Structure 1
Amino acid sequence: MNRLILILLIISSASLYSQIEIPRSTNTGRLIKAEESNSTGFPILKRDNTEKESRFLKEKPKAIDLRKNPNNLLTEADAMKEKWAKDAEVKEEYRFDQSLGNVVTKGRFVEVYCRDHQFIDGDKVQIIVNGELVEASVLLTAGFKPILVNLQEGFNSIQFVALNQGSSGPNTAELRVLSEKGEMLAKKEWNLLTGAKAELIVVKN
């Protein structure tokens, strides 16, 4: 009787194992073809190379000249040199002093800004306010140089004396004058030969 029960248990267990399914692969990648090797006769795996080669691997990268791109490594001086190939032509009239006109303000001071607006060639000026030396030597570059000028009641004289003419042309500059409140009072330019001066009169009411 015991043998019969044991045989029935073995048969039942075998039936259960035969119903278990082997899980299938979920790999959805490309199929790998099996090809027969010429040397061994056994099948070998070979990947399907039907995809096109990337154009980025075929094309050689172009050389980049950053100096041709104004948004990259050009300095302020480089940009000015490209814009201004040379200074204005030297004229006889530049030997004489120049008047930059008059401006009126109620403020205690004005802000004076000057720069070389043409070829950056080492132009220098001396600044005199009401007969007193304020700046002995100011090198004019592409960027504005700020100078604070305190005003006295009435007329105030601001003179710019050309110390040199740089390496080309006359001494050239752009001048801007701002009030105590930041308002633009004057925007001027000058062309001077060495020793000549440009004068701006500021009237404080």
Structure 2
Amino acid sequence: MKLFSLLFLFFMFAVSAQAQIDSDSRKKSFTMPVIEDPVETPRTISEKPKALEDYSGFSVPKTTRDLSLPEKEFSMFPQEQFGNPGELYTKQLDKNISDLKLSPKEVEQRNGSTTDQYFGDFKSKAKFINVVYRDHGYVDGDIIQVRVNDDVIHPRVFLTGSFKGFKLDLKKGFNKIDFVALNQGESGPNTAEFRVVDDTGHVVSHNQWNLATGVKATIIIVKE
């Protein structure tokens, strides 16, 4: 009976103590402290960065810190200055042309003679002659006119690669034959080869011409 009484008293004391703790906890408020995130302050980098060339395994081009402009402008022709840029190219072009040094004959062959050509006079006892001609260069449309003693006998003759011509009965004295270049074809100049053959098959004259438009080549046959 006594043991039961003691257990009952201990139980009541425990209940009373727990009630006191709950009462005290209600009276006091518990506030959770706010923990602020630490703010990192910027660090001062005292160590100098490594130069690019210090890193192994990389090939870095070397640069220069001198960004100043050159004192003189670039020129293909150093130590020469011109007020007008066109003079630079004109002077160089004139120099290139002067270096060619073409002979008068070479100039004539390339551009055609601008003066009338005289191939001489020849004596003959023949009753007649055969005059033939052809384009001795590239057949490019060269056209000539044929005159005898200033009379037009063939107004337009297209030169081909084969000989063609006419028979001329010789008169006593001078028989002048003119070949007039009417054009220079597609490639120029007017190029031709001619032959004069007498009635016995003898070649009286044989020559070539390179003529500019409007220029003529002349040969004279003198009948004895």
TM-score by length of 2: 0.51
CA distance in 1, matches of 2:122, 2:139: 28
Which structure would you say has the larger Rg?
2
CA distance in 2, matches of 1:109, 1:144: 18
Mapping for residues 13-32 of structure 1, pairs under 5 Å: none
CA displacement 1:110-138 (0-9 Å, x = unmatched): 10010000111010100000111110111
Aligned residue number for residue 116 of structure 1:
135
- The percentage of aligned residue pairs carrying the same residue is 45
CA distance in 2, matches of 1:153, 1:104: 11
Q: Following TM superposition, where does structure 1 have runs of at least 4 consecutive aligned residues deviating by more than 2 angstroms?
A: none
CA distance in 1, matches of 2:119, 2:160: 20
State the number of aligned residues: 117
Mapping for residues 1-205 of structure 1, pairs under 5 Å: 88-91=109-112, 94-205=113-224
Give, in angstroms, the shift of residue 102 of structure 1.
1.4
- Give the aligned CA root-mean-square deviation in angstroms: 1.4
CA distance in 2, matches of 1:175, 1:133: 18
Which structure has more helix as a fraction of its residues? Answer: 2
The alignment partner of 1:164 has SS state of coil
CA distance in 2, matches of 1:124, 1:150: 24
The alignment partner of 1:102 has SS state of strand
The alignment partner of 2:201 has SS state of coil
The alignment partner of 1:95 has SS state of coil
TM-score by length of 1: 0.55
